[in-house]
Amino acid sequence: MKPKATESSSGRELQLELKYCERCGGLWLRPVGGGQIYCVPCAREIGELPPPSYGRENGEGARMPRGPRCGADDGIFEDYDESEELDLDAAGGVA
């Protein structure tokens, strides 16, 4: 949607477009082709945040720790046969 607003003092038109804030979801108007993706209040809050740290001093990016994969080689489900009936009430617990 591209509503138009008229500037009365200069006699030229200012074109605006409806945009939603990608942080809070609020609707606001920005100049057509403007690159803003946040409303003014959210842009102020984001501007106060510290800059992101993208990597370590040696240039490597952040990595997730690697360890054994749970369930990958356990073989728990290999012996399960779908035709076997499970007695769900056998545990005697409370549902």
pLDDT tens digits along 84-94: 566 666 666 66
> What's the pLDDT at 4?
52
Residue 13's domain spans which residues? Answer: 1-50
> What's the pLDDT at 44?
95
> What's the pLDDT at 6?
47
Give how many domains the chain has, as a whole number.
1
- Residue 3's nearest CA partner among 22, 17, 23 is 17
> What's the pLDDT at 39?
94
Q: How far apart are CA 37 and CA 46, in angstroms?
A: 12
Residue 11 lies in a domain: yes
Instruction: From residue 59, give the alpha-carbon distance in Å to each of 50, 51, 52, 64.
Output: 20, 17, 15, 16
Cα 1 to chain centroid, rounded = 25
State which residues of the chain have pLDDT below 50: 1-2, 6-7
Report strand pairing: 13-20 vs 4-6: antiparallel
Q: What is the dihedral angle through the alpha carbons of 31, 34, 39, 45, rounded to the nearest 10 degrees?
A: -140
> What's the pLDDT at 68?
73
> What's the pLDDT at 93?
60
* Torsional sign, CA 6, 8, 13, 16: negative
Residue 68 lies in a domain: no
Residue 91 lies in a domain: no
Residue 77 lies in a domain: no
